[in-house]
Structure 1
Amino acid sequence: MVLNAKTIRVRVAEALHAHLGERWFKPSSAKLLIESTDLLTDFSIELDCSADYRYGAYDCELAAAFKWKKFAKLWKDFDAWYEVKDPSSAQFKTSSSRQRNKQFLLKGFNAIDGDFQPSSRGFFWVGSEQDLDAFVIQCIADLDGNVGAWIRRWFTWESALDVMDGNSQLCGSWRDTAYFCLLEQVHGREAACKWISGIDATGWPALLAAQVEYLQSQVCSGMSEGKAVA
């Protein structure tokens, strides 16, 4: 087998489907799309294998990518509003950055397994078929262990909110918008607007402050009269 990024991704996907398919993955797809009767949210969760070549080998890691239509719509609306508010922001956007903005959450298995601590394990170096076999074994063990348990916590809305509450770093620079969506999903618009109204974003970086302003002034502007913008 010729070892390259493509063959690594294909081998990992095939092996995980073979070993864990019935419990984890959509059978009709070659991708690692999570499908389970226990998945009660409408998150679209896909496992993505990175394989970057450097120093004579490939540093490999699986990551869990979460997409959510509700979040994507709210972010799209915010993004359009922000471009009007600050036209200069558009010049920094690329097609790849716009695509990433549709993503609710992306987290690598290494960070998840290490409970997001700085001492989390590093990339797995793959320079031979034997290394690749060992990487596959690690991926299977991850899904049977801590990583799989963490992903399953996103299978219900209530436990997903618990995960967000327990880690303030999740979702990065779009954290407040993502949290607002999830809080609204679990407890309703009024609770989400009450939460965002208590945030003072004075002095925050522009993008972060703009999200708070948008949610307060555009999404929740009518809450006091009981008619928040839908």
Structure 2
Amino acid sequence: MASGSSSEFSTQLVTQTDTYLETIRECVDRLSTLVERYASGESPHDVAETIRALESECDVQKRTLSSLVTNTSVREFGIRNSRVHLNSEQLVKLYQLLDEIPNTAEQIAEDISTIDPPREQWAFQQYHEITEHARTAMATLYDAVHEFIHLLCSPTETGTITDHISDIRETESACDSIRNDIIAEAFEGSTTQPLLYREFANNFDHLVDTMEDTTDHLVLLSSSEPWITAEPGTV
């Protein structure tokens, strides 16, 4: 950051992070729409193109945020942002982990658009169920990261994101169960392409896995910090 006060840096970091999170959330929302429309017989191409554009926006926003953190000097951080300075490397890692969410959503959208799998209702209803869980988890992750960044930019405030972490872990476990049900039905039923449905089930489940990976990093970041509690059961 070439110039500006420490308060301006804080404002930029919070605002740009929120914008990044909103774009990621929109990407996940659109994937759920794509699955629902595809199952009903509509073409996936328009929505897939939108997801592709959103993923590209996420790439730009991630690079901008990473640059903001890494190119700001100690003097520009100031005492107000000492928490950011001390955690700058892991903060950049957080943004990279978040980027895996739109990357995964885009890959699923591309696969559906390109492969054009049979629109088996039993499978796509459950795929859609996973994407709805993903939307819920992403909304929770949005709140968790927003709170984390807000506290990171405060010299005195303390807080907790334990409920957010617990909720996302529970959602990820629910998606694991749905994935397993899809795979079991694919190989026990009459479908002629069980491997294809297994691959899609794993990919949809991976979308929520990437969100849990991000919460794991938040827990790691918070483990040695007295100003935030992230791990359920800790004080």
Question: What is the TM-score of this pair, normalised by structure 1?
Answer: 0.23
Q: Which has the higher contact order (CA 8 A, sep 6+)?
A: 2
Q: Select the structure that is richer in helix.
A: 2
Question: What is the TM-score of this pair, normalised by structure 2?
Answer: 0.23
